[in-house]
Amino acid sequence: MKRSTFLICLLVVVFNATARKVYDICIYGGTSAGVIAAYTAKKQGKTVLLIEPGSRLGGLSSGGLGYTDIGNKYAVTGLGIDFYRRLGKHYGQFESWIFEPSVAEKTFHQYIREANVEVLYRHRIVSASKEGTQIRSIILENVTVSPVATKTITARVFIDCSYEGDLMARAGVSYIVGREAGSIYNESFNGVQVQPSKTPQRGNQIPDGVDPYKVPGDPSSGLLWGISDTVLAPIGSGDNHVQAYNFRICLTNDPANRIPITKPPGYDSSRYEILPRYIARLTVQDDIREILKFDLMPNHKTDINNGGGFSTDMIGMNWAYPDGDYATRARIQKEHELYNKGLLYFIGHDPRIPAPIRHFMLDWGYPKDEYTDNGHWSPQMYVREARRMIGEYVMTQANCQSKVVVNDGIGMAAYGMDSHNTQRLVINGMVKNEGDVEEGGLSPYPISYRSLVPKRTQCTNLLVPVCLSASHISYGSIRMEPVFMVLGQSAALAAVQAINKKTDVQSVDVAQLQQQLKTDPLSNGTQPEILVDNTDSSRIKVSGRWSVKKGGTYGPDALYASVQDQSRSVTFTPAVAKAGEYAIYTYVLPKISKASAVTNWEVFDGKNKKEITIRLADVIVNGQTNGEWVSLGTWQLPAGDKATVTVTNKNANGTIVADAVLLVPVKK
**pLDDT at 307 (0 to 100):** 94
CA distance 245 to 223: 22
**pLDDT at 353 (0 to 100):** 97
**pLDDT at 198 (0 to 100):** 63
**pLDDT at 200 (0 to 100):** 45
CA distance 581 to 584: 10
Burial of 419 (0-12, 13-18, 19+ CB in 10 A): buried
CA distance 148 to 305: 36
pLDDT, mean of each 10-residue run, the chain (668 residues): 46 47 98 99 98 98 97 97 98 98 98 98 98 98 89 98 98 98 98 78 82 97 98 98 98 98 97 97 92 97 96 98 98 98 98 97 98 98 98 98 98 97 97 96 97 98 99 98 98 98 98 98 96 97 95 95 86 97 97 93 96 95 94 97 96 95 93
**pLDDT at 141 (0 to 100):** 97
CA distance 115 to 107: 13
Q: How far, rounded to the nearest angstrom, does the alpha carbon of residue 60 sit from its chain's CA centroid?
A: 8
Is-contact 552 655, C-beta < 8 A? no
**pLDDT at 11 (0 to 100):** 42
Same fold, 13-177+387-519 and 530-665: no
CA distance 474 to 184: 13
Is-contact 637 643, C-beta < 8 A? yes
CATH of domain 13-177+387-519: 3.50.50.60
Is-contact 201 308, C-beta < 8 A? yes
Residue among 462, 434, 360 at smallest CA distance from 29: 462
Is-contact 411 395, C-beta < 8 A? no
Give the H or E element holding residue 138. strand 134-142
CA distance 201 to 407: 41
Q: How far from 573 is each of 69, 546, 642, 665, CA to CA, in Å?
A: 31, 18, 8, 16
Residue among 318, 282, 310 at smallest CA distance from 204: 310
**pLDDT at 668 (0 to 100):** 74
CA distance 13 to 506: 38
**pLDDT at 202 (0 to 100):** 52
Is-contact 309 274, C-beta < 8 A? no
Q: How far, rounded to the nearest angstrom, does the alpha carbon of residue 244 sit from its chain's CA centroid?
A: 16
Give the H or E element holding residue 610. strand 609-615
CATH of domain 530-665: 2.60.120.260
CA distance 73 to 412: 10
Q: Beta strand pairing status for 48-52 and 22-28?
A: parallel
pTM of the model as a whole = 0.95
CA dihedral 607, 610, 616, 618 (to 10 degrees): -100
Extents of the domains making up the chain: 13-177+387-519, 195-231+244-383, 530-665
Half-sphere exposure of 394 (CA within 13 A, CB side): 17
